[in-house]
Amino acid sequence: MSNTRRNFLATEAILLALLPRYGAAAEPARRPVSTGEVWARTELFFGTSRPGGEVSDNEFAAFIDNEVTPRFPDGLTLLTGYGQFRGSGGELIREKSHVLILLYPPQTQDASGKIQEIRELYKRAHNQESVLRGDSYMVVSF
């Protein structure tokens, strides 16, 4: 028997021995069954630091009301927290941040274009280097 195979079997035996100790279920995990629909999910990460100060809560709320809501009137989720990133000049920037979560049917008319407009408008209006975008799909039900 090769060393690789022997090491694999030894590791597997150790893991199997430890499972009951840490409360693992005796049955294998099952994938949840969902009756929902596949929707697109986009997350946008907005920083608030800018030269000369910070984007205020009122300024950000006005941006959401005037630019985001008209493009996605069916709803959104907004989370506020703190984030950090390395700026283009190499400096570490820590700032209050907002995460906007949009869920929409994948066939939504020009959703990607509307999201890109939101990003560009925020960068211009609030002197930002970037607005991070993450896209995925998920199963949703209401």
**What are 81-134's pLDDT values in tens digits?**
999 988 888 989 899 999 999 999 999 999 999 999 999 999 999 999 999 999
Residue 31 maps to a domain: no
Give the pTM. 0.74
Dist CA 93 CA 90 (whole Å): 9
Residue 3 maps to a domain: no
CATH number of the domain at 103, please: 3.30.70.120
Domain that holds residue 86: 37-140
Closest CA relative to residue 67, chosen from 109, 125, 129: 125
- pLDDT for 8 equals 45
- pLDDT for 88 equals 85
Whether residue 30 contacts residue 85, with contact meaning beta carbons closer than 8 Å, is answered with no
- The per-residue pLDDT for range 66-82, each reduced to its tens digit, is 999 999 999 999 999 99
Dist CA 32 CA 62 (whole Å): 39
Residue 110 maps to a domain: yes
Percent above pLDDT 90 for the chain: 66
Residue 52 maps to a domain: yes
Residue 70 maps to a domain: yes
Number of domains the chain is built from: 1
Residue 95 maps to a domain: yes
Higher per-residue pLDDT: 20 or 93: 93
Higher per-residue pLDDT: 37 or 7: 37
